[in-house]
Structure 1
Amino acid sequence: MKKLPEDFIFGGATAAYQAEGATKEGGKGPVAWDEFLEKQGRFLADPASDFYHKYPEDLELCSMFGVNGVRLSIAWSRIFPEGTGRINPEGVKFYHDVLAEAKKYGIKVFVTLHHFDTPKALFDQGDFLNRDTLDAFADYAKFCFEEYPEVEYWTTFNEIYPIATNQYLLGIFPPGIKYDLTKVIACLHNMMVAHARVVNLFKENGYSGQIGVVHSLETKYPASDAPEDIHAAFLDDALSIRFLLDATYKGGYSKETLEALDEICAANNASYDFPEEDFVELEKAKDRNDYLGINHYSSHFVKAYNGENAIHHNGTGDKGTGSYKVKGIGERIYKEGLERTDWDWLIYPQGLYDLLMRIKRDYPNYKAIYITENGMGYKDDFKNGIIMDEPRIDYIRKYLTSVADAIEDGVNVKGYFLWSLMDVFSWSNGYNKRYGLFFVDFETQERYPKESAYWYKHLAETKTIL
């Protein structure tokens, strides 16, 4: 039995494109996902969870079930339909209404400015590979800071690493480019510079509230004690974790990070060029982050690999069908004997504990941490409005126990946001993959609390992990 702090936030997480639906309503401008999904013809982000119309019900459910914090994102193209210039008053009002409804119930709202949904007009000009997008993002952020002073917690970006790799390495996000490490590194760096610029703007203008960034961080372990496997895990970690945390908290990249980048680039005929003025921005921002959000679902065991790039995204959950082999980095292996989810993701709570302790040790200027996403994709069985999801409860229990252990050992973790609040649309799985506390019938848009919702309510009331 573990206790969590009295002021701990027990939250639920969402994202605009995955929850709102209404992709063509209310004056919203297009994003690249609209066209990308239409061309694939498998599923669309309408209706999603219809949060655009159902938010009063969803926030009331939060109040009823002890969820005292909500993560949501502003859809940039709902405010600026073309990314810059013209403002959409209907979109501006929508988020005021959502924030007012949350305040009515005393729910703390963490607002993300960018959650995978750059307006299409900017995306088509190169997204964050185009340095002009950094200016547009800063202007959009400034507008939001001034328009929504009621927001207490701002997040610049959600998951910079998955954006870069899913767009330019795996090719499962638009524009669907594979194995271009030059673009991956440029995207990572430019988005970290954009984050730093917005943090500096926020602090220098004296806006109220707090600001941080959400990184997806998945711990890497060597597949064996062999030196080549240890080095492969180091390289994978350097690109996916160290690069991001160095940029966030060190104001630049360590010698070890740059040496890893050079090795990865040499193997992939890739290159990078970081303008010197960028490091002025990163240096100014490094001690200004009020919190770090961590999205953590899995860990990886990595072995040396010298072949060609070979990545297959497992979108069905069929055990052992995924493949992740990157030239110059390594191969993420299928570790037999370890528990996995319905969607074949490794369940390894030790990875979260190790990650939290590492941040405390290696980046001591962090101020606070929120677990901004963690949860279990599960093929929920719906029986006459009853959803028994004990495996999800067990998953949350194990990961929150790791969080409690890290708090006991001195890490300042202030809250946990389950992905997801309600069932939502999944970028690569459509409507089959369910994470929510509340089951959504996507045809009727009815909500049904799952067994996990009642368990989570008791957890929030008692602060005790049972």
Structure 2
Amino acid sequence: MQRSDATSGLTHLPPDSPVRRQDFLLGVATAAFQIEGASNTDGRLPSIWDTFCRAPGKVLNGDNGDVACRHYEKWAEDVELIAGLGVDAYRLSVAWPRVMHADGRKNDKGLDFYKRLLDRLREKGLDTYVTLYHWDLPQHLEDRGGWLNRETSYRFADYADLLSRELAGRVTAWSTLNEPWCSAFLGYGNGHHAPGLSSTRYATQALHHLLLGHGLALPALQVNDPAARRGIVANVGAASPASPTPEDREAARLFEVQHNAWILDALFKRQYPDDLFRLWPGSEPLVLDGDMDVIGRPMDYLGINYYFRVHVKSDGAHGYTEVRAEGVERTQMDWEVHPDSLRRLLIGFKRDYPGLPPIYITENGCACDDRIEDGRVRDPQRLSYIDRHLSAVDGAMREGVDVRGYFIWSLMDNFEWAFGYERRFGIVHVDYDTQQRTLKDSALAIRDFLAARTP
């Protein structure tokens, strides 16, 4: 067996860290649009990302998801790859356009793909964490307003009902949504992601309908698949003031209101933060009676995705502006590496949201400009990144935060949304011409770490 002789492994964790125990779940993650390909196969419908990729200038190099990593064809090989790493779990998403026809009927061919995949994963002893929505809204729903249309929340609940009936017993834990902040703000607020609209008023309304869909889906998941846990995945942001002035400290606080409290207050306090509308005057969404009670329905866990910290200063009015810090470590995405912000945020969430359910870090990882040299991919920055963030999780757990697991983003290099195939997050290298998968040094070190865990 090839071992990670060029790395020192995960060295920042104390020997007694709970992260080193077998009861702390460690997994890898992907998303359907980013790896599956086969965009016109077996009745799959177009999604908003198929449309967005074909709009000139929206995706780097004009890349699209038509082929991606050919996971739809190579799924059995990929399951062997995952199992060979020794991880406990695999987090994946289902492509809504692959499993439902436009009239709401199920697409058996698409469903059969996920049934085979999930069955094989369970045969390999892997827990399955399944996300219902990882950004690939069927285009026919966007044509009727997408997440700006309240009706989409109800169509999402129908989809959740169908999928949880069809896949019942195959799923360890369901996530309703992945990163609703990104779907709402990047998709409808600044146009960086599909469907490419730009209005803060659109962003707040889309976010409300996303969260409403989440709440509407929870009862069906409970009834149809009662043994599976139910939750949602939120991306969170960390800010540091550019100076110690009160104005810049307030700017950093407002950044975290916009990135974190916007979602978490709705889920756990059943209200949107008033400060959000100081940032975006006049952007209040239309909220009907009872909506917040639906959104605030109890969950079994909360997924947290964290990647980087930003520096901000006051804009001199009612908000903030980001500034570039010099002399800091950055990834291929130009994101600052700051593991301690993850620890700080987790401790703050425990403080601010009494009754918070158990947390899983559902995404954390690092994009690097990885290349195969002499049959090997050396990625020391990625391994160091994962090591230090696991140490940050350990620090939060020692402060009483109930963190149950951690998923690396991602299993393999894939379609990185607006950045196409240039940015590589995988611990497994993908040659997009040959579809050859190659374990990077980080994957080898993680495999060794997992094999050495204590009971």
TM-score of the pair, normalised by structure 1: 0.89
Between the aligned partners of 1:103 and 1:241, the Cα distance in structure 2 is 34
SS of corresponding position for 1:232: helix
Distance 1:129 1:425, change over 3 A: same
Aligned to 1:183: 202
SS of corresponding position for 2:416: coil
Between the aligned partners of 1:279 and 1:210, the Cα distance in structure 2 is 22
Between the aligned partners of 2:318 and 2:200, the Cα distance in structure 1 is 10
How far the C-alpha of 1:169 sits from its partner, in A, is 2.6
Aligned to 1:317: none
Between the aligned partners of 1:262 and 1:415, the Cα distance in structure 2 is 34
Between the aligned partners of 1:457 and 1:362, the Cα distance in structure 2 is 36
Between the aligned partners of 1:452 and 1:392, the Cα distance in structure 2 is 7
**1:55 corresponds to 2:86:** no
Distance 1:199 1:276, change over 3 A: same
Aligned to 1:20: 36
How far the C-alpha of 1:194 sits from its partner, in A, is 1.4
SS of corresponding position for 2:290: helix
Aligned to 1:272: 285
Name the amino acid aligned to 2:441.
Answer: E
Counterpart of 1:385 (choices 352, 375, 379) is 375
Aligned to 1:422: 412
Does the 8 Å contact 2:232/2:302 carry over to 1? yes
Between the aligned partners of 1:419 and 1:206, the Cα distance in structure 2 is 27
1:327-355 CA-to-partner distances (Å, cap 9, x unmatched) read 84211111222211122101000110001
Between the aligned partners of 1:439 and 1:265, the Cα distance in structure 2 is 41
1:368-411 CA-to-partner distances (Å, cap 9, x unmatched) read 11111111100002114211111111111111110111112211
Does the 8 Å contact 1:81/1:119 carry over to 2? no
Name the amino acid aligned to 1:58.
Answer: D
Distance 1:58 1:206, change over 3 A: closer
Between the aligned partners of 1:205 and 1:418, the Cα distance in structure 2 is 29
Aligned to 1:301: 311
Counterpart of 2:431 (choices 437, 441, 447) is 441
Aligned to 2:84: 64
Count of residues in Structure 1 that have an aligned counterpart in Structure 2: 433
Distance 1:282 1:431, change over 3 A: closer
Does the 8 Å contact 1:440/1:448 carry over to 2? yes
**1:165 corresponds to 2:185:** yes
Between the aligned partners of 2:425 and 2:294, the Cα distance in structure 1 is 37
SS of corresponding position for 1:163: helix
Name the amino acid aligned to 2:222.
Answer: K
Does the 8 Å contact 2:241/2:248 carry over to 1? yes
Name the amino acid aligned to 2:314.
Answer: A
Between the aligned partners of 1:244 and 1:440, the Cα distance in structure 2 is 34
Aligned to 1:32: 48
Between the aligned partners of 1:24 and 1:74, the Cα distance in structure 2 is 16
Between the aligned partners of 2:351 and 2:183, the Cα distance in structure 1 is 27
Aligned sequence identity (%):
36
Between the aligned partners of 2:270 and 2:195, the Cα distance in structure 1 is 30
Name the amino acid aligned to 1:189.
Answer: H
Does the 8 Å contact 2:332/2:423 carry over to 1? no
Does the 8 Å contact 1:109/1:152 carry over to 2? yes
Q: Which moved more, 1:135-144 or 1:206-215?
A: 206-215
**1:453 corresponds to 2:446:** no
SS of corresponding position for 1:111: strand
How far the C-alpha of 1:270 sits from its partner, in A, is 3.4
Between the aligned partners of 2:399 and 2:158, the Cα distance in structure 1 is 40
SS of corresponding position for 1:270: coil
How far the C-alpha of 1:126 sits from its partner, in A, is 1.3
Does the 8 Å contact 1:145/1:207 carry over to 2? no
Aligned to 1:309: none
TM-score of the pair, normalised by structure 2: 0.92
How far the C-alpha of 1:200 sits from its partner, in A, is 3.4
SS of corresponding position for 1:39: coil
Distance 1:417 1:224, change over 3 A: same
Between the aligned partners of 1:361 and 1:110, the Cα distance in structure 2 is 27
SS of corresponding position for 2:174: strand
Counterpart of 1:89 (choices 105, 108, 126) is 108
Aligned to 1:134: 153
Aligned to 1:362: 352
Aligned to 1:76: 96
Does the 8 Å contact 1:21/1:46 carry over to 2? yes
Does the 8 Å contact 2:69/2:430 carry over to 1? yes
**1:208 corresponds to 2:227:** yes
Aligned to 1:199: 218
Q: Gapped runs of 5+ residues in structure 2?
A: 1-12
Does the 8 Å contact 2:165/2:225 carry over to 1? no
Q: Gapped runs of 5+ residues in structure 1?
A: 307-326
SS of corresponding position for 1:110: strand
Between the aligned partners of 1:106 and 1:204, the Cα distance in structure 2 is 25
How far the C-alpha of 1:437 sits from its partner, in A, is 1.3
Between the aligned partners of 2:267 and 2:423, the Cα distance in structure 1 is 32
Aligned to 2:5: none
Between the aligned partners of 2:451 and 2:172, the Cα distance in structure 1 is 23
SS of corresponding position for 1:157: strand
Does the 8 Å contact 2:427/2:443 carry over to 1? yes
